[in-house]
Structure formats: structure tokens, C-alpha cells
Structure 1
């Protein structure tokens, strides 16, 4: 089987897919696209993904888009390690944490990130304050879980951790541009840092880190998360 990933540096959904591919030891080739390079607007890319977004994973069965859908696909291709659990109970817990993040924290994270990266903290102070408050409330729930369990899904790494980790790193990038506050303190919680270090020990982790982050390149910081 052959797999080919279309990706963009800095996009958390892309990072999710790279982490999963490496965790499952699935080999793939890749094409890096850029926001201003025009690749996403090419007619050929439109046939792969009409939404003209990445990630897209080309598979023997055709293209698969949307990061969580790709994780589910990969779990069927190679069931071990199981990203979505081995039992109905495990699957329920894992999906619960994924949807908690997607439905409750992600929106606030996007808002604070866009404000921070665009230097609009003063002009959009009300929006930022609300996003930070939501971030604190949601992170407290997550931190409580990580104090009790090594992973969000339980005893083993799962799709919940892979979905959440890139968002945490994106949020750290945003918070570094904002005045210190309660959310900054929460991000230094030992349980969260321990969990991050576990993920950073995954196979080929360094290859998944957005290249331009290490290079200090400000481009693509506003890609959708």
C-alpha cells in the first residue's frame, strides 16, 4: 500500500495526522503546500479536496480529508495501537474527550490565537477576555483528567491525545504573545507537562514539528486550527 500526505507547516490538523502515521509506523510520501503558493487553488487539488484544505491523505482507496476522519481511517488500516479504543467503553471515553475539545475549547483557542498572532489584543480586548475565560474553564477539566490518568483516553495513548496535543502547542504560541494571566499558569501544570513529554517521546516526533516554528518564520501562523 502507498500513502501520500498533503500538508502545510503549522496546521494542527496536519500535525495530528503525522503523529498518527508515525505512531502506527505507516510509511508515506508527502507534498508540502503553502497558503500563498497557489497549490490549493490548482484545479488538480480541487479534485482531491473540493474544500481546498489540508491535510489530505491519498490512499489506495482514494483521498481522505479531515484530520479526525484520517485518524479513523488509519485505525482500520492498522488496528494496533488502537487510536479509538479496544472496547465500546474505551471508544466512548476517547470520543468524549475529542468532542469536548472540538466543541468547547477549540473555538476559544482559535479566537485567542488569531487575536494574539495578529497583534489585536487591545482592539479586541472583550473577545480575548471571553476566550481566555473559556480556555481556563476547559483546561481545568482536562488538567483534572491528566492528574488522574496518564492519557486522556485512559491507560494508553489514543486519538484524544493526538487531537489535543497540537492544539496545546498552538495555544502556547499564542499565549507567548499575550500578557501573563491564569491560563499561562495552567499551562505550566506538572500533569500537562508530563503528558506533553510522553507524546514528545513518540517515534519520529521531531519530524512532525512544524518546520517554520523552529525556523522562527512568522508565515502561516494564522492557518486554521
Structure 2
């Protein structure tokens, strides 16, 4: 019999229990047709949690509320669950980071985000304090890499789906002031001139949004290579790939308008689990979406036994790797980047092999190949 979790389908705190359940093999089902503000105000719900907060887990032995407590309960339903480690210190560290995430990360994200969404009054000073506290909490190595590795795990994706990184900070939501009832005799009364002047702190909100500056790559001289034509040729070539797609690539390629780069992952010794390695590559490609207009890429996971090697080939607009990609995509620093020497026939053949997903590749089996186009 499945346990019943009372929460909305997109509730981030409910995700904790649902993900723990996936890893533990415990069946937990979300209650159907849950409506926040309605379902959690019913007498039946308030018997389970008198203050009406979600999530609440309904169990044969009674209700459990508070998301971390629910996640712990679900995890402990499986005997000797490895999610709790194999020693007392493992257990302590797991509890430590759960509490740290709740008090230092989640709480400060809420103080930053919720006022901007209009849930609480917005105060710039409070926001600055929350951001500073959040930055302090995240001053650990490889935090972002860890995050993207986790959210791309199959058990995470079953619950939360695909995670996409926010492109901008949400603007502050301003509530419209209620209209004041005007008295007829005051209709002709002029307000003091000072009242017509916008307040200094309101001026930015009244300014017209400035157009986004053009990407520097859009300002480059026109290239004879039309990237979309190459992507179309690559996608539509099903047979005679070498004779059609590879030949077509070199016919189109413009070394003055584009550049080719090999990349090799610096930490291949970490790639001991195949699906984790493939998820790592998938996360990288997801974050490269900001340059889809200017790039084409192939990423290969090589080897039949761990540790697996991650290698790639990228075509970028311009003679160098775009600066905005280096600045915005943290994965870039995890790879060694080498510009392809077109005068070297061996390197050109390596380009061909990577575009074609040639197997074996450099003497090893091809575990996975992904294309960015």
C-alpha cells in the first residue's frame, strides 16, 4: 500500500520525500487534485497538521509533517538504507548537510526570491543581506557541478523533470495601488508641483527597458558558412555519411568565420559510473544552450570499462571560444581546450571521426555520443 503525500505536484519540499522514495524503493503517491489554500484548510487536513502547512505524509501509524522529517521517515522504511551511510559519522554528516541546506541555502533563497515574486514586502537592504548570506553558504568547491550532477540523476528526473537554469533574476513584482475615491469638490484642486515629481527611488521602474546589446558574434563580418545549413545536412544524412555529411562539412567550413576545438575532460578518473558520466555530459550540453545560435558540438563518452573518458569537438563562430560562453558555462573550465590545426591531416581525420561517431574511437569502444545542434 502506497503512502500518501499531501502537497501540490510542484512543491519543492515535497520533492525531498519523493526523491528519497525513488532511491529507497518506497511507494509514495501525491494526493490527487490538491489545491493550496483550499485542500490544506479542510478539517481533515488540519487534523494532520493544525497549522495547515505542506507537505504532510499520511502513514498507517499517523501523519508526519515537516519535509525533512518526512524524507527521513521514508528513507528509514528501508532496512540498511545506504542513503544514511554505513557509519555513525556518515549519518551525522548527512544530517549536518540536510540542516545546512534548510537553514543556510533554502532560507536565504526564499528571502531573496519570495519578495520579488510579491509574496512578502520587498526591501533592497534585506535582499542584499540574503544574497550575501547565500554566497557565504555556497563557498565550497564544485557546488554547481554537484548540483547539476544530482538533478540529472534518473531518480531526481523522475520527480522534478528537466531542470533549466534561470537566465535572469526575476523583477520585483509591484502591486498596483488601490484607486482612491475622489470627491467632486476636489476634482479641480491642483496638487502641489512637488507631488507630480517621481520619487528618486521609483525612477528606474518608470524608465523604458533598454534594448539588449547585440552579441559580439553578431557583429563579426558575414561568413560563407551558414551554420543552420550544416546542422540540417548533419541531421538529414542517414546513409553514406562520410561521402555526404563529412564532405559537405569541409565544403561549407569557413576558417575565417569559424573555429574548431577539441576538448578533453580534466577529471576522467572521477568517471567511474557510466550513467553519472553520461548525465554529466548531458548537463554540460544543457548549459551550452545559450550559444546554440553560434555553435555545433559532439561529445563522446569513450571506454567499455571505468574510468570513462569524455572527449568533445566544438565548432564556434569566430576565431576563439566565445567569451560569454567561457564566462557563463562553468563546465568550460573542467575541460582542456585545444584549437584544431587544419594543416594537420591527423587532426582533420579526428574531426571526421568525432562528427561521424566512429567506433571504435581511438582504439576504444564508444559508450555514448551526444550532439549539440
TM-score category (smaller protein): 0.5 to 0.7
Question: Hey, what does 2:133 align to over in structure 1?
Answer: 134
Alpha-carbon separation, structure 1, partners of 2:129 and 2:109: 11
Shift of 1:131: 0.8
Question: Hey, what does 1:55 align to over in structure 2?
Answer: 55
Distance 1:195 1:79, change over 3 A: farther
Question: Hey, what does 1:33 align to over in structure 2?
Answer: 34
Q: Comparing both structures, which one devotes a greater share of its residues to helix?
A: 1
Distance 1:66 1:120, change over 3 A: closer
* Count of matched residue pairs: 161
Shift of 1:126: 0.8
What TM-score comes out, normalization by structure 1 length? 0.62
Alpha-carbon separation, structure 2, partners of 1:47 and 1:120: 28
Larger radius of gyration: 2
In the alignment, is residue 7 of structure 1 matched against residue 7 of structure 2? yes
CA deviations on 1:14-65 (whole Å, 9 max, x unpaired) are: 11111111121222332142224x1111111111221212111111212111
Q: Comparing both structures, which one devotes a greater share of its residues to strand?
A: 2
CA deviations on 1:136-164 (whole Å, 9 max, x unpaired) are: 11111xx33xx4xxxxxxxxxxxxxxxxx
Question: Hey, what does 1:202 align to over in structure 2?
Answer: 154
Which structure has more RCO (C-alpha within 8 Å, separation ≥ 6)?
A: 1
Could you tell which deviates more after superposition, 98-107 or 128-137? 98-107
CA RMSD of the aligned region, Å? 2.6
Alpha-carbon separation, structure 2, partners of 1:105 and 1:202: 24
Distance 1:107 1:200, change over 3 A: same
Alpha-carbon separation, structure 1, partners of 2:102 and 2:30: 26
Question: Hey, what does 1:124 align to over in structure 2?
Answer: 123
What TM-score comes out, normalization by structure 2 length? 0.39
Question: Hey, what does 2:43 align to over in structure 1?
Answer: 43
Alpha-carbon separation, structure 2, partners of 1:72 and 1:11: 18
Alpha-carbon separation, structure 1, partners of 2:85 and 2:98: 13
Shift of 1:132: 0.7
